[in-house]
Amino acid sequence: MTSTSVETEFTRVGTCFCGASRVVTSGIPIAVSICHCSICRTLSGAPFTAQALFKADRVKFEGDEPTTTSTSPQVNRCRCARCSSPMYASLMKGTMMAVPLSLINTPGSSDNLKPTHHMYYGHRVLDVDDDLPKFVKSKGELWTPECDVAANQSA
């Protein structure tokens, strides 16, 4: 199988609510994360978000120039200019892209989109009972119930 056929096999298209913008991803994501950080929760209105992480050259945006919000020095979140649907986040000075699973996880496209870990689990508002690794922040220290005890004692 050539690399071209692999890319074609794993090409996915996600469309915003109004249909004016599209994100096309190719290949297998580097990781698929569930994020519990306060920024993701606030911007989504949900207790957590799920996104697939791709190298930037594996993500193509089509449509009007998206609106962009810088939520940290390393993260710019982009939304459809017409309907404000989340389209992607540009990470690490634009070298990586996080694409919401809600955008690309359409029927028949769930291969390789299963979450691999939780991020910012210490910030969660809802416990999730699964066997995925749970990190206190984006990576590094694994969350344990003792982390919650320590955080409550320092608060």
The pLDDT tens digits of the residues spanning 15-29 come to 999 999 999 999 889
The pLDDT tens digits of the residues spanning 74-123 come to 899 999 999 999 999 999 989 999 999 988 866 555 667 899 999 999 99
Mean pLDDT of 1-6: 44
- Domain holding 139: CATH number? 3.90.1590.10
The boundaries of the domain holding residue 8 are 3-154
**HSE of 3, CA atoms in CB hemisphere, 13 A:** 1
Question: What's phi and psi for 60, nearest 5 deg?
Answer: -125, 130
Structural domains counted in the chain: 1
The neighbour count for residue 44, using CB atoms within 10 Å, is 15
Q: Is the dihedral of CA 82, 87, 90, 94 positive or negative?
A: negative
Global pTM value? 0.83
Burial of 104 (0-12, 13-18, 19+ CB in 10 A): buried
What's residue 153's pLDDT?
58
What's residue 38's pLDDT?
93
Residue 8 predicted with pLDDT over 60: no
